[in-house]
């Protein structure tokens, strides 16, 4: 009998790997540098291979996996599109992927600690994802790029973006919720 921790860790790996593939897809079309495009494609293929391993293991345990939350997908899309609309460069794309990898590593490490009773195969897959993220993206080598980025950050800190988001839900929700709107203030760093 498989432990609940094993299933939960695999589900978090599944959601995380899907989020990574989605993030790569969002920036891949906007990249000009062929080397970066090749790195992104290679990383996507590694993610898809790991995703297949996760699905196979989850299926063997009778579970269908987990998709990333709508909030996580929405915030990722919003951040990517806002940053890329302000500076559609390879450096911005690389920074976005690096930030995503760092968040993924942090989350998976948290889940490894939380689901400590998970079996070795599930833990191995989580560690494999972490290793893949570390190898591919955590090498910031071009100082000029990051000095230029820091100047941009200083300019962006002086500005904030106000976005009015109107929530639209299905008819099943309360009429008040259908009409609800709220404002979100983003400080892009």
Q: In the beta sheet, which residues pair with residue 161? A: 186
- What pLDDT, on the 0 to 100 scale, is given for residue 102? 87
pLDDT at 8 over 90: yes
**Per-residue pLDDT reduced to its tens digit, 53-74:** 999 999 999 999 999 889 989 8
Farthest CA pair distance, the chain:
56
More confident site: 83 or 186: 83
**Among 5-14, 59-68, 94-103, 152-161, whose mean pLDDT is lowest?**
152-161
- What pLDDT, on the 0 to 100 scale, is given for residue 19? 94
pTM score, two decimals? 0.69
- What pLDDT, on the 0 to 100 scale, is given for residue 137? 52
How far apart are the C-alpha atoms of 10 and 58, rounded to whole Å? Answer: 7
| Beta carbons of 161 and 185 less than 8 angstroms apart | yes
């Amino acid at each position: 009998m498989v432990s609940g921790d094993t299933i939960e860790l695999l589900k978090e790996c599944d959601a995380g790997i899907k989020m990574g593939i989605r993030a790569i897809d969002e920036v891949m079309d906007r990249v000009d540098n062929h080397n970066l495009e090749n790195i992104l494609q290679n990383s996507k293929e590694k993610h898809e291979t790991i995703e297949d391993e996760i699905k196979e293991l989850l299926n063997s345990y009778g579970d269908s996996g987990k998709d990333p939350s709508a909030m996580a997908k929405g915030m990722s899309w919003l951040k990517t599109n806002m940053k890329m609309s302000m500076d559609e460069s390879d450096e911005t794309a690389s920074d976005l992927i690096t930030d995503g990898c760092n968040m993924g590593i942090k989350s998976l490490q948290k889940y490894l600690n939380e689901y400590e009773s998970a079996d070795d195969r599930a833990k191995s897959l989580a560690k494999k994802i972490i290793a893949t993220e570390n190898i591919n993206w955590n090498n910031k080598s071009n100082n000029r790029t990051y000095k230029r980025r820091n100047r941009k950050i200083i300019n962006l800190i002086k500005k904030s973006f106000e976005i009015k988001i109107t929530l639209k839900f299905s008819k099943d929700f309360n009429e008040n919720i259908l009409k609800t709107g709220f404002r979100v203030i983003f400080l892009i760093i």
